[in-house]
Structure 1
Amino acid sequence: MASLVAYDDSDSEEDGSFSGKPVQSDRGTENSVTATYQKPDQCLEGHEGLQCINSETAMHPPWKGHSPVWSQPEVLGRKPAPKFRPRSSSERNEGPTAAKRPQLLPPGVRPYIPKRHRLATPDKGPPPVQSLEQDSSDHQALRSQMLSEVSEKVRPFLGRKCTRAELPRHVRLQLSAHNGPVNTIQWCPVPQLSHLLLSASMDRTVKIWDAVETGRCLQTFSTHCGAVRDVCWTPCGKRVLSGSFDNTSILTDVETGQEVLKVDNHVKITCLALQPKQPEVFLCGGFSPEVKAWDSRSGKLVRAYKADIQQTLDILFLSGGKEFITSSDMVSRDSADLTLIAWDFETTAKVSNQIFHERYTCPSLALHPQEETFVAQTNGNYVALFSAQRPYRMNKRRRFEGHKVEGYAIQCEFSGCGTILASGSSTGSVHIYDHQSGRSLCTLSAHQHACLSVSLHPILPAVAASCDWGGEIIIWR
């Protein structure tokens, strides 16, 4: 007689009173089938811990219309077994069989992490404040290095004597960081720091550029609350002096950007000039009939130079610093006897006011670096040449023509050797003239707005900078 024998699963959570004894069925003996429950470690994975031993009987039951005995809850006295459903990997990991033996990995091999675990890993968040401070300190150190050390492109030309300037031909860099007209630009006068370019704009800022290598803006001074009309380097190259329409003159440290001195002139400033022999003394001119001299060490007014004019356009110290020339907006009916005025620096007396006898104002002045001459940009669309010694006569046989002024404050400048003269133009072009003959050497067309200033590099050959009314600075080579 066949008997029905079944064993409870020792790991079952539904029946915890497993005794290991066979269970007798109530159906009788003729329709009984032998089946056995296996232990969990002997079962196939995914079959709820159950496998039929008598596979032949399971596949071909002796009765008709009856299911196998393990699916009959009334035979075993247990709850119906759930339908077959493969377990997920998370369910398998959560079961009692999740604890697996540690696997030994070869050196240099990392275990695989499922994607859902990687996505579930919380973000690291923003970098710590210390790293940001470190980046800021590194940037500050790099900027300070570029402001104080010699550029690699300038180093080979230190100590060389230039006898003949070369002409710039091509655009190397275009700097567009000012939001207003750039009134003036100037290279640093110190040869070791001559890669630095200074610019002043109507957008109330003063900027220092690495205009030889990278074209980066190294410093921005926003100390003025009005348009900056003029700016210049100190002879040491460590400070800059700026004058603005907010009636103030400010001396600023280049590396730190801190104000060293602030002077209130009570009038809008249009021009500045440092005394060559006493760099701590500077002159300020503007919308006033007088020019004031200030001492940067004490911040006090030293001297005042008064004339019957309304506005001073430019100031130029002659060689030696004992005398200086001022340009005004006064034009008389018969002669411009107050257009250019020569002053004695110590006594504040007028030396001469009969220098320029044509009815044009002169928006800018420039001194020749080697000869005793200076030039004046005129609104007659030419540059006039004058003697720098008394009685300061004008050379009527030589003038520099070909550019346009048309009321703009167009500036001009000599090269370091004094062989060429460069001037801007209201047409946006740069004009370069030969100093000895006065003829035009070349014309560079790049600016879409009026070119206000041109500055030739004091050391590097064929390198120049120009700025325009639209706020653009172009580096030429």
Structure 2
Amino acid sequence: MTSLVAYDDSDSEAETEPVGSVNDADQGKDTSGVAKPPRQDFTSGILDMMKGRAQPPKPGSKAPSNLHEDPGGHPLPLVRLGRSDWGSCPSQRLQWRRKEPEVTSPPSEPPRPSLWTSRALAGHSPRPAACFKEVKLSWELYSSPVSSFCARTESETTGTIGSSVQKKRHEDCVVPYIPKRLRQLQMLNTDTGQSKEAEPPGPLAGCAPAPLRVAPRVSEFIQPYLDSQYKETKVPRSVLFHLRGHRGPVNSIQWCPVFSKSHMLLSASMDKTFKVWDAVDSGACLQTYCPHREAVRAARWSPCGQRILSGGFDFALHLTDLETGTQLFSGQSDFRITTLKFHPKDHNLFLCGGFSPEIKAWDIRTGKVVRGYKATIQQTLDILFLQEASEFLSSTDASSRDSADRTIIAWDFRSSAKISNQIFHERYTCPSLALHPREPVFLAQTNGNYLALFSAVWPYRMSRRRRYEGHKVEGYSVGCECSPDGDLLVTGSADGQTLQYSFRTARRACTLSGHTQACVGATFHPVLPSVLATCSWEGDAKIWH
């Protein structure tokens, strides 16, 4: 059995060869027996990696006699890899420095185990377990300590090492020092059964989105309703599809505004993606888009139904074409985006608001900001265009006791002037706004756990007679909406319920308990009279009928 450790003798001339050369005559000599001198500290060794590759001496040349010496003039002992490691990596060496010279025992004495293989530090592999590993040092990958000191198992080395080397691998092995942080990482990878590199990758932020897997078509369920006028909205009560796929809370959902393509549902999530679903025929996800590097807070269909405008916490704006999967427009805002709205008449313009005192109007054709609407606020919660599209409302986070200043602000779109900022006369913020489809009124979701009704014309007075109560908001951005015929109002709730109210009487028409966490979005289908979509903070969406 060959020795793992060969110590130099200060009186011997046979070991005066340079580091990196191999003497075949010394391979069979057993010099592993070591007598421990008094007060010898074996734990003071320092691992010294060679910076270059040593070349063996030419035949007939004299080996240099200047060994590595300590300040006391004593030659430093060397620790060499076993014969199997010399065969696989002939140009790699390990060298251990000692404070004092070692005294070698006679060859007749039985070999004593080395301190580095018999008394390993805490977290190291014991001697029997270490013998089943092979250490392979790679100078090309020395910059990565994990790859330089990782031990390969027998299955990984099969076919790459000779049979003679495999037989001696259990006898000749050196366990190098591994830092504590790397040992903890290796133990964690062993427990989980896979390394960090083998984890399933998440969505690739910034990659070019792919086109829809299924070409947009007219659903057979929607076809009979396209030519007929929408009559009434029926109260949905049962679940048709349960849409699962997001790995984070779903912030908003929206049906495609084009009636012939309204089987598609858009969902934006905090998992940095937005998805398009076939929410009428099969409930399958048609495509996942991930152009953002942070949470997607807002996503809106374009009025033509062929593009999606998205904005998120990464300050980025993207307009994605669904048919080609390309980004037609990309912009960079100077704040985190929380709300987006297309102009109802000029579809090349849209409004963008978020964590900023200013709302900006962008032009897709030029990719630049054309207008700014600035107020003394900190955040814009929602934006709503009124019927004539010359005015719009913005809901902000400004609120004060017994004051209605800047909670809801009315703006002139062309001149960027404030029309009114004394609309809401209570001390609650309004996370969402909704316009009635047939009457000149709009709804405001309040953190006071009720829906308030306002006039959509100046001076935008609030109704004192109608108040839709019974749900909970509790700081969530809970959305609200009217049915296409205007008879029902729907809103989510912080307790996971979905509530529907009669618009005329303000009475509760139905309560759906379908989510375990806060229901933050609910929207009626624009064509089908009894289909409702809801989304929740737990990361799923449901289709009711």
Q: TM-score, normalised by structure 1?
A: 0.69
The answer to which of 325-334 and 192-201 deviates more is: 325-334
Matched, 1:143 2:213: yes
Q: TM-score, normalised by structure 2?
A: 0.61
Matched, 1:279 2:344: no
- Give CA-to-partner distance per residue, 1:296-344, whole Å, 9 cap, x none: 1110110000000000000000001100000000112321211000000
Aligned-pair CA distance for 1:279: 1.1
Aligned-pair CA distance for 1:401: 0.7
Give the distance between the partners of 2:425 and 2:212, measured in 1 at CA: 53
Contact 1:294–1:302 (CA under 8 A) maintained in structure 2 = yes
In structure 1, the gaps of 5 or more residues are 1-139
3-state DSSP class of the match of 1:143?
coil
Counterpart for residue 267 of structure 2: 199
Give the distance between the partners of 2:246 and 2:393, measured in 1 at CA: 31
Give the distance between the partners of 1:238 and 1:171, measured in 2 at CA: 28
Contact 1:144–1:255 (CA under 8 A) maintained in structure 2 = no
Give the distance between the partners of 1:253 and 1:316, measured in 2 at CA: 24
Give the distance between the partners of 1:201 and 1:142, measured in 2 at CA: 18
Contact 1:219–1:257 (CA under 8 A) maintained in structure 2 = no
Counterpart for residue 212 of structure 1: 280
Decide which of 402, 408, 417 is 1:349's aligned counterpart: 417
Give the distance between the partners of 2:395 and 2:304, measured in 1 at CA: 27
Give the distance between the partners of 1:186 and 1:393, measured in 2 at CA: 29
Counterpart for residue 453 of structure 1: 521
Counterpart for residue 162 of structure 1: 230
Aligned-pair CA distance for 1:456: 0.5
- Give CA-to-partner distance per residue, 1:202-236, whole Å, 9 cap, x none: 00001000000111111111000010111111111
Looking at CA atoms only, which structure, 1 or 2, has the larger radius of gyration? 1
Give the distance between the partners of 2:414 and 2:400, measured in 1 at CA: 28
Counterpart for residue 176 of structure 1: 244
Aligned-pair CA distance for 1:262: 0.9
3-state DSSP class of the match of 1:192?
helix
Counterpart for residue 504 of structure 2: 436
Contact 1:277–1:320 (CA under 8 A) maintained in structure 2 = no
Please give the residue correspondences for 1:402-417 in structure 2 after superposition, counting only pairs within 5 Å. 402-417=470-485
Aligned-pair CA distance for 1:418: 1.0
Give the distance between the partners of 2:539 and 2:249, measured in 1 at CA: 4
Letter of the 2:342 counterpart: L
Letter of the 2:409 counterpart: I
Contact 2:212–2:322 (CA under 8 A) maintained in structure 1 = no
Decide which of 371, 376, 388 is 2:456's aligned counterpart: 388
| Equivalences, count | 336
Give the distance between the partners of 1:254 and 1:429, measured in 2 at CA: 33
3-state DSSP class of the match of 2:260?
helix
Matched, 1:257 2:328: no
3-state DSSP class of the match of 2:356?
coil
Letter of the 2:256 counterpart: C
3-state DSSP class of the match of 1:156?
helix
Give the distance between the partners of 1:465 and 1:257, measured in 2 at CA: 25
Counterpart for residue 239 of structure 1: 307
* Percentage of identical aligned residues: 57
Matched, 1:319 2:411: no
CA RMSD of aligned residues (A): 1.2
Letter of the 1:247 counterpart: F
Letter of the 2:463 counterpart: N
Counterpart for residue 374 of structure 2: 306
Give the distance between the partners of 1:453 and 1:393, measured in 2 at CA: 26
3-state DSSP class of the match of 1:433?
strand
Matched, 1:362 2:439: no
Aligned-pair CA distance for 1:243: 1.1
Counterpart for residue 108 of structure 1: none
Q: 1:142 to 1:372 in 2, by over 3 A?
A: closer
